[in-house]
Amino acid sequence: MKPIFKSPAGENFFFGYYDKSPFDSLNAKILAHKANFIDRMPNENDQLEIGFFDWVGDGAFVSLTSTKAWNWQQGSMLQWVGPDYSSRIIYNDRVNNKFVSVLMDIESREKIELPIAIYSMHPNGNLALCIDNERHYWFRGGYNYQGIQNQDKNIPIDTRDGIWLMDIANQQVEQVVNIVDLINISPLKTMEGSVHYLEHIMFNPTGERFCFLHRWQQSDGSVYSRLYTANTNGDDLYLLSDSGRVSHFCWRNKDEILAWGALPNVTNSLRKYKAIAKYILRPLLPLYHKLVGEKSTLRRALTGDSYILFQDRSEATNRIFSDMLCEDGHPSYRPGCENLFVTDTYQDEDHIRHLKICNSDTKTVTNIASLNSCSQLDNTSLRCDLHPKWSYQGDHVCIDTVHEGSRQIYVYDVASIV
């Protein structure tokens, strides 16, 4: 399929992560970041331009502002603000040696500086969930911000760490999840001596609950992931997945989550034991990767990896497309639709990334595009994942891509498919 819009070749534009839409609710503007390089990681002095494309008009890029708090994977958390998703934007920045967020009216250009950087916005636009980006700096290369190096937070477990809820109207910030409480839930030996952090926070469509990952990286480099859900105020915390293997996810509706990961099996159970993981499983990994292909049936049997539908606050699970979608991607459901989701793939052996729309009613997977990944960026923090995002009407899908040699934004009209 050919795109109906693409940002100028030779210039570097991208939006960022897949869990928010660059389209405004009127389907007239597309938010974008503009960079003047793509061949290195950003440093503390690099500013990223912020603006939008008048994509259904003359296609021009309208510059609004800039930021010093950004990365290649998630940008600056730039997004439209609800409930109208058309008049205000929010993004993260670094001001006076502090990570903050900035609320901006795109017509008046009036800005309101907020006391903490945001991670996930509530649908009503009045609340935001936040992490400690100063701590993230030390342990999450590729997803962190440069410019603040607080050595006090360069420790395996920071008992002050957690998730904060910001009331945007009164600029009040309150911690609603503390990392110590998570570590004390069904503690594992692998937690000891590991680096613990929280990330990938996402409100459900109604804003009543949110999900997030508690991850810990062990001394051998392996990462164990738990998927949690909680009420907006942090109450009713629920451990939804404890197989250790969960990566990208999205809400299907207010009660179901689609995630790439694994259900508990023998292999995953062994990963919970520190000695077995360190002295048996980890040394076997090189041989495993050599003998077992990324998409092989044996690999999926050993890991248990597939797309899984989780029922919130329940043990109910359901594998979907387990024979058709054989690798991790970045999924999101079409707005207002529970049977259609878009996802992508990482690069294959030919350095090609694929964009797919999946229909659970017809049990079909339609390939929308196959684009070169730019091999020198593969498997690095400089990579450009497609990160597909829906328009609010559900007729268009937007991606980031580097297949023409610069970072570009592409838009596809998928109305005939959905």
Residue 93: which H helix or E strand, with range? Answer: strand 88-94
Amino acid residing at 233 = N
- Chain segment 116-137, per-residue pLDDT in tens: 999 999 999 999 999 999 999 9
**Does the predicted model carry a pTM greater than 0.75?**
yes
Q: Which of 22-26, 54-58, 113-117, 261-265 has the lowest mean pLDDT?
A: 261-265
**Residue found under tokens 């942090």:** 234
pLDDT at residue number 264? 83
Q: Half-sphere exposure of residue 38, counting CA atoms within 13 Å on the CB side?
A: 23
Residue among 188, 238, 236, 237 nearest 215 (CA):
188
Q: Average pLDDT, whole number, for the chain?
A: 93
Give the pLDDT score at 191. 97
Of 218, 197, 221, 226, give the one whose Cα is nearest residue 274: 218
SS3 call for 300: helix
User: Is it the case that residue 269 has pLDDT exceeding 80?
Assistant: no
pLDDT-based confidence at residue 304 (cuts at 50, 70, 90): confident
In DSSP notation, 205-228 reads TTSSEEEEEEEEE-TTS-EEEEEE
User: Could you give the CA distance from residue 51 to residue 392 in angstroms, rounded to a whole number?
Assistant: 19
Q: Which domains does the chain have, with CATH numbers?
A: 5-413 (2.130.10.10)
Tell me: pLDDT of 34 over 60: yes
pLDDT of residue 64: 98
Q: What is the pLDDT of residues 43-99, one digit of tens each?
A: 999 999 999 999 988 999 999 999 999 999 999 999 999 999 999 999 999 999 999
Predicted confidence at residue 87, as pLDDT, reads 98
Please state, in angstroms and rounded to a whole number, the distance separating the CA atoms of residues 190 and 217: 9
